[in-house]
Amino acid sequence: MNRTLPVLAIVASVAALLVALLRDPSPEPAPFVPPLATPTAALSDSDLEEELAERDQKISALEWTVTHLVNRVVALEKAQTAGATAPGTAAARPGNERQQLESLRSDVDALLTGEAIETESGRTRLKELVGEIQNEVFAERVRERTAAREAATNERIARFAQEARLSPSQEDEVRKLLDAEAKKRQELQTNRGGGDRRQAFQQMRALSEETNEQAKSLLSADQFSQFEEMRQEDRHGGRANRADRVNRGDPSNRGDRSNPGDRTNRGDRAGGRRTQRGE
């Protein structure tokens, strides 16, 4: 009897556990439902276009900067390799070149991760790039103005050669004279820098007079008169319409404007008015 009590207790415990499990089954875990994202306000078409355009500009600038920086890294690495192989130059500037390489690498990494302005060297380089772009734009504008001015000058020379009936050799010599003068003017402007403007003006005037003297020896009196008119147009951007004067049959209009008699008549009229006021 005593031997069967532990066995009966175990059987009763197992039976009670089974009854409890059958009566109160554990609920299954509810499936996880992710929270719905809060809808954001829809952007208008104009806002989207502006944002896309701004991003395109940033991407283009970053791509150009990355290419430039990578080229600089490659150039410095080649210079460092060449310096290491050359005798006596291995330890010339290792610290400086290493520092430049590290700075460029950090700039490239920052640009690739969209953090170009997070580093001091990156901000400095971006400023330099902006300055370089501005210089390129200014140089391009100067080239465009120079090309336009040369085209206008060539047109005036061709018209002058036709109206003055220059021979081919005369036209060729006149072009050579004016081209040489233009080159000398450019040299004077380049060498002057921030020098004396009065001295530069005197040099320009002497150069113009020298060209006129050389042209005078090539042309007749009437041709040289028309040459001076063409030069006057070239100085003032063609404001005087010489073609209209030739069509009217009055090619010497320029001399009439400087006629001393006209100035005397104007003085007489002014004197008469002063006399009348005095009376």
Residue-wise pLDDT for 59-94, tens only, equals 777 777 767 776 776 776 676 666 555 544 444 455
Same domain for 105 and 188, yes or no, is no
Same domain for 195 and 238, yes or no, is yes
pLDDT for the residue 21: 60
Query: Is residue 50, in this structure, part of any structural domain at all?
Result: no
Q: Which domain holds residue 213?
A: 136-252
Query: Is residue 125, in this structure, part of any structural domain at all?
Result: no
45-85 and 120-163 helices, crossing angle to 10°? 100
Same domain for 109 and 144, yes or no, is no
Query: Is residue 80, in this structure, part of any structural domain at all?
Result: yes
Into how many domains does the chain fold? 2
Residue-wise pLDDT for 208-261, tens only, equals 899 899 988 888 999 989 888 888 887 765 444 444 444 444 444 444 444 444
Query: Is residue 157, in this structure, part of any structural domain at all?
Result: yes
Query: Is residue 129, in this structure, part of any structural domain at all?
Result: no
CA angle 177, 179, 180 (to 5 degrees): 65
Length in residues, the chain: 279
Residue-wise pLDDT for 94-131, tens only, equals 566 677 767 776 666 666 555 556 667 767 777 787 78
Query: Is residue 155, in this structure, part of any structural domain at all?
Result: yes
